[in-house]
Amino acid sequence: MSPGDSVAIEDAQITSGTPPPEGAAASIIEGRSPWRLAYERLRRDRASLIALGVVALIILVAIFAPVIAALTGHGVYEQFRSTGLTPDGLPVGPNGQFLLGTDDQGRDVLVRIAYGARISLIVGVVATLLEVVIGTVLGLAAGYFGKVVDTVIARIIDIVLSIPFLLFAISLVSISKPSLTIVIVVIGVFGWAAVARVVRGQVLSLREKEYIEAARALGAGPWRIMFIDILPNIVAPIIVYTTLLIPVTIVIEASLSFLGVGVPPPTADWGTMIAGAQQIYQQAWWYLLFPSAALLITTVAFNIFGDGLRDALDPRAEQLYK
Amino acid sequence: MALLEVSDLHVSFPTPDGVVQAVRGLSFAAEAGKTLGIVGESGSGKSVATQTIMGLTRGARVSGQAMFEDKDLLAMDQKALRSVRGDEVGMIFQDPLSSLHPYYRVGWQIVEMIRNNHKDISKAKAKARAVELLGLVGIPQPDRRVDDFPHQFSGGMRQRAMIAMAMSLNPKLLIADEPTTALDVTVQAQVLQVMRRLQEEFGTAIILITHDLGVVAEVADDVVVMYAGSAMEKADRYEIFGASHHPYTEGLLQSLPAYGGVRERLHPIPGQPPSLINLPGGCPFHPRCPYVMDRCRIEEPPLFEVGGNPTHTSACWLTLDLVERTALRDKVVGGQLPSPSRP
Amino acid sequence: MTESGIPSASGAASDGDVLVRVEGLKKFFPVQSTSAFRRSHEQVHAVDGVDLEVFRGETLGVVGETGCGKSTLARCIARLLDLSEGQVDFDGRDITNLSARQMRPLRREMQIIFQDPYGSLNPRRRVGSIIGDPFALHGIADGADRKKRVQEVMELVGLKPEHFNRFPAEFSGGQRQRIGVARALALKPKLIICDEPVSALDVSIQAQIINLLADLQSEFNLTYIFIAHDLSVVRHVSDRVAVMYLGKIVELAPVEDVYQAPRHPYSNALLSAVPMPDPNQKVDSHQIILSGDVPSPISPPSGCRFHPRCPKAQPKCSVDDPALVPVLGDPPGHVTACHFPVETGEVMQSRPGVIAGEGAQAT
């Protein structure tokens, strides 16, 4: 071998596969980004795909709630005193006209569940996004800057997490009028702390990585490092966490509405419906069962999908959760 | 007869991307009182082979034989293997922290190890033995430090404590998998010295797995050079370092900065090790070999005796006459291996 | 000639040839660094008074064992860490107290190659964007121009330019290290600090990278500070070598002087501990096995820090901290911090019974 050719001697064998680490059965699929790899893994996960399908269905139902109303001919606030209530004034059960029966005011439960899905999803998604954005930014700042910034944010997290959320929400609503915005803000303001704590932990471990030091050695400033070098490496756990947080938020919203401090009537809402059904479920089981089932199916679907997403994004070969 | 005789060991791991052929037809023997060095780079299968023998690889397809005295380790169930591990075979790994439990005192872990296998030994006796062992491996004030937790030990002390633990039952065989890779050279020297002394005292057979040719030259009696899951060359250490036959062995030695003068160009092996999923046909080393012939691309060579010496075998189609082989080396890679100089 | 009077190996020392000058550099880390409210008084003395000059175009090897402060020293020179005490001059300019922002333009001139070919590349970013970072950060090239320049650098370090869009996970360890080299080289810096650049690689690949670094040095007249614990690698690449122990330089000399006639007992022990790939060397005859472990850098020993483990230690050593000066008639370029330096040809003995534990001091 002549001197000088060693600079370019590593040849094209990369296409035939890099060697797997000693003892590990893991190997590397060539030519695909980490997201692509996650997608491939997710595609093989049947339970997650079904869950995703259910989530998509719920979203479609929420979007097309007016269509459902039009098809049935029943408005969401419309009370059918003659056909929707028995002569004793009790709801009627599922029948040809009211597929899922009616509620105590003679309104169509199916239509109201469809409209309720809108509230659940809006609150679930918007409030969760609020939590995640606040939590990520503060978690990033705490983890990256450390020192005083970290101490202050960590104390705020501790305080927020130790306030009894429900009591606070109830008293807040007693001061101002309950509304959708208030519900979202209350959930967002209380929910970010858990996200921030997760993000902070991730950043703390990533901060010590050599590639972060390399970025600093190249002259990258703190904001660039946080958002270009660190954030892409925690996007996966954040996505997973978001997916798992949505059902939690949906349940919290339903709980608030159930307690009468959430979305005010007559807006159709699953929590409000379940609360209303409490009085008469012995006479009208459908009024309790169907909204509860809608809530259960939604949360289970999100949770299964979130779990699948985590498995897909967190193969041992990658260093996401280190 | 050898204490451990492994023959035609194959280990493969099915993965979504294909079957990883980690070990392909490996045979070797370990003898009492001797050290067998297994050298190879990452992915050569050197660790997988011994881990498989000890039943520590999960989800692997395994075939072959591993006769330990008169029992085939590969045919044993997990329970029987567990009693062999520790009682008759001790193991040391690269990372002592992963093997020492962080929440239990070092001494307690050794005591447990002893009493797990010999229920009749009293606690006090086992503890006395633990102190003795820690002293033997050079832990200062062993009677006091026996009650320390692993984190109170330095890296070198942990590794020596691991050796004490592995030796606690007087095993006939000690498998050391990169035991000094994580250690500094001065600490490595301490640990290797401990291993040598224990071997002299107890006549233990040692299998030393390492990537460090210097360590092998210092402590191994016999050497197996592995590449892509197979043995490329087997010989005693003097032959390996003084009269190697296989081009891979030669390439490894030439890559060492210890050879060659200061600031001279090194002679790396060109290219990368092959994928174990998609091995090149013929000899696995042929894409990187400076001597490659047509035959090498088609037929995988078996181990041949070099120069009629049954203890020196090489899996290579090149001439088996060492004089001719040396002449060929002069012609192809230019010059002999310079002798190493102490750094 | 400078005040400390250390000429370069080539003997061409004049003030203009000094690229990096370090004076009295100290770096302490608080033992508890995470809490802002509670400050511990204990400090890790990672680097404890280092004077050093690095000459333009040379390779200065820094060797020592885990915790000797060699990486901390490098990070202080690169100003990735703030100094606790002392001064660092780079290219004739005092950079000790420059802020991160003020350092930015200087980052073009000094780069680092890291140890871990896996940890030093962001797994979520494509190779082209990783190597393009230096251009982007310093506003040097954009768009197609940047891509062209990145591909030039890739070719220079032996990577295929068409692998521009791949992720680090698709490369082997040796190739990843080439990516790290390419990133450091992109802006043609004056100084590259190599922090254990080959210790995570297999020997055959290690040799490829060492050759690459040597080629690049002669092509671009680079200056290297080469940190490693592998003494044969350091010997191979360095012009001069600094041996560090517990935060201090104990010996500094042209490479062959250190390897052929090490003066400090620690240098001797360190060199003797390296296993040689030559079975004909009798192990026990040459090895000096040190007793005990490296003491804690929180409360380093008094006097000479090596005295508790030194086979030649005398009472004086525990009191007087020896200065780093030429000893035993060495030329001014070979300095040693020892009261009882090792004579050429002197056979140093291990302390008796050291490995059996008796007499070895607890840490």
The two tokens of residue B39 are: 């050298």
- Which chain A residues are Cβ-neighbours of C157 within 8 angstroms? 7
Higher pLDDT, C267 or A22: C267
List the domain range (segments joined by +) for residue B321.
250-332
Q: Identify the closest residue of chain B to A23 by CA–CA distance.
A: B48
Query: Distance (Å, rounded) from C-alpha C107 to C-alpha C138?
Result: 9
Residue B240 lies in a domain: no
pLDDT of C4 over the 50 cut: no
Structural contact between residues A47 and A312, judged by C-beta atoms closer than 8 angstroms: no
Pairing of strands B222-227, B35-39: parallel
> Residue B340 — very low, low, confident or very high, per pLDDT cuts 50/70/90?
low
Q: Identify the closest residue of chain A to B329 by CA–CA distance.
A: A1
pLDDT score of C223: 95
Residue B117, chain C, CB below 8 Å: the answer is: no
* Yes or no, beta carbons of A11 and B272 under 8 Å apart: yes
B78 and B124 together in one domain: yes
> Residue C32 — very low, low, confident or very high, per pLDDT cuts 50/70/90?
low
Closest CA to B174 of B202, B149, B135, B148: B202
Tens of pLDDT, residue by residue over A147-191, are 888 899 999 998 888 888 888 878 877 787 777 888 888 888 888
B178 and B270 together in one domain: no
Query: Distance (Å, rounded) from C-alpha B240 to C-alpha B253?
Result: 10
Residue B20, chain A, CB below 8 Å: the answer is: yes
Residue C271 lies in a domain: no
C18 strand-pairing partners:
C55
Residue with tokens 């404590």: B161
Most C-contacting residue of B190, B210, B339 (CB-CB within 10 A), to test interface: B190
> Residue C124 — very low, low, confident or very high, per pLDDT cuts 50/70/90?
confident
B184 and B286 together in one domain: no
Query: Distance (Å, rounded) from C-alpha A320 to C-alpha B258?
Result: 39
B17 and B120 together in one domain: yes
Query: Distance (Å, rounded) from C-alpha A34 to C-alpha A12?
Result: 22
Q: How many domains does chain B have?
A: 2
Residue A228 lies in a domain: yes
B155, B188, B223 — which closes off a domain? B223
Most A-contacting residue of B11, B20, B54 (CB-CB within 10 A), to test interface: B20
> Residue C123 — very low, low, confident or very high, per pLDDT cuts 50/70/90?
confident
- Which chain C residues are Cβ-neighbours of B266 within 8 angstroms? 207, 210-211, 236
- B186: helix, strand or coil: helix
Backbone phi and psi for residue C24, each to the nearest 5 degrees, phi listed first: 55, 35
Residue A128 lies in a domain: yes
B71 and B177 together in one domain: yes
Q: How many domains does chain A have?
A: 1
Tens of pLDDT, residue by residue over B275-319, are 888 888 899 999 999 999 999 999 999 999 998 889 999 999 998
The two tokens of residue C245 are: 């122990």
Residue A218 lies in a domain: yes
pLDDT score of C78: 92
pLDDT score of C60: 95
Residue A37 lies in a domain: no
Higher pLDDT, C3 or B290: B290
Quick one: three-class SS letters along chain A? CCCCHHHHCCCHHHHHCCCCCCCCCCCCCCCCCHHHHHHHHHHCCHHHHHHHHHHHHHHHHHHCHHHHHHHHCCCCCCCCCCCCECCCCCECCCCCCCCCCECCCCCEHHHHHHHHHHHHHHHHHHHHHHHHHHHHHHHHHHHHHCHHHHHHHHHHHHHHHHCCHHHHHHHHHHHCCCCHHHHHHHHHHHHHHHHHHHHHHHHHHHHCCHHHHHHHHCCCCHHHHHHHHHHHHHHHHHHHHHHHHHHHHHHHHHHHHHCCCCCCCCCCCHHHHHHHHCCCCCCCHHHHHHHHHHHHHHHHHHHHHHHHHHHHHCCCCCCCCC
Residue B143, chain C, CB below 8 Å: the answer is: no
**Total Cβ atoms within 10 A of residue C323:** 11
pLDDT score of A3: 36
Tell me the mean pLDDT in the region C145-149.
Answer: 90
- B331: helix, strand or coil: helix
| Neighbouring residues of B38: CB distance < 8 A, sequence distance ≥ 6 | B28, B46, B49, B50, B207, B208, B209, B210, B223, B224, B226
Higher pLDDT, A300 or B95: A300
The one-letter amino acid code at C173 reads: G
Residue A250 lies in a domain: yes
Rounded to two decimals, the pTM is 0.80
B254 and B216 together in one domain: no
pLDDT score of C284: 59
Q: Which residues of chain A fall short of a pLDDT of 50? A: 1-30, 316-322
List the domain range (segments joined by +) for residue A297.
52-76+95-313
pLDDT of C360 over the 50 cut: no
Residue B201 lies in a domain: yes
DSSP assignment of C280-342: TS-HHHH--PPPS-PPPTTSPPSSSTTGGG-TT--GGGGT-----B--TT--TT-EE--SSPP
B223, B242, B271 — which closes off a domain? B223
Closest CA to C161 of C140, C174, C179, C177: C179
B197 and B282 together in one domain: no
Distances (CA, A) of C44 to B155, C33, C323: 18, 11, 22
B312 and B202 together in one domain: no
Residue C299 lies in a domain: no
Distance from the C93 Cα atom to the nearest Cα atom in chain B, whole angstroms: 31
Residue C292 lies in a domain: no
Residue B338 lies in a domain: no
Closest CA to B45 of B18, B32, B27: B27
CA A250 to chain centre: 9
pLDDT score of C241: 95
CA A107 to chain centre: 30
pLDDT score of C361: 39
- Which chain B residues are Cβ-neighbours of A10 within 8 angstroms? 270-272
ipTM value greater than 0.95: no
Of residues B47, B60, B271, nearest to A10 (C-beta) = B271
* Yes or no, beta carbons of B22 and A23 under 8 Å apart: yes
Tens of pLDDT, residue by residue over C60-103, are 999 988 888 999 999 999 999 999 999 999 998 999 999 888 99
Residue A108, chain C, CB below 8 Å: the answer is: no
pLDDT score of A21: 38
B174, B205, B223 — which closes off a domain? B223
Residue B243 lies in a domain: no
B203 and B258 together in one domain: no
CATH code assigned at B200: 3.40.50.300
Q: Residue A21, preceding bond cis, omega within 30 degrees?
A: no
What's the whole-number average pLDDT of chain C? 84
CATH code assigned at A200: 1.10.3720.10
Pairing of strands B222-227, C110-113: unpaired
Residue B235 lies in a domain: no
Q: How many domains does chain C have?
A: 1
Residue A28 lies in a domain: no
Q: Identify the closest residue of chain C to B139 by CA–CA distance.
A: C357
Residue with tokens 């994004």: A313
List the domain range (segments joined by +) for residue C75.
15-263+326-336
Q: Which secondary-structure segment (H or E) carries C57?
A: none
Tens of pLDDT, residue by residue over B2-44, are 899 999 999 998 877 788 899 999 999 999 999 999 999 888 8
Tens of pLDDT, residue by residue over C151-196, are 999 988 888 888 888 888 888 888 899 999 999 999 899 999 999 8
pLDDT of C52 over the 60 cut: yes
pLDDT score of A321: 33
Residue B129 lies in a domain: yes
Q: What percent of chain C has pLDDT over 70?
A: 87
Tens of pLDDT, residue by residue over C278-318, are 877 766 566 787 877 778 888 889 999 999 989 888 899 99
Tell me the mean pLDDT in the region B224-233.
Answer: 94
Query: Distance (Å, rounded) from C-alpha B271 to C-alpha C62?
Result: 29
Distances (CA, A) of B300 to B7, B24, B293: 18, 12, 12
CATH code assigned at C230: 3.40.50.300
**Total Cβ atoms within 10 A of residue B10:** 19
Pairing of strands C59-63, C223-228: parallel
Residue B268, chain A, CB below 8 Å: the answer is: yes
Q: Identify the closest residue of chain A to C110 by CA–CA distance.
A: A217
Q: In this complex, which chains have at least 3 CB pairs below 8 Å with chain C?
A: A, B
Of residues B47, B57, B275, nearest to A19 (C-beta) = B275
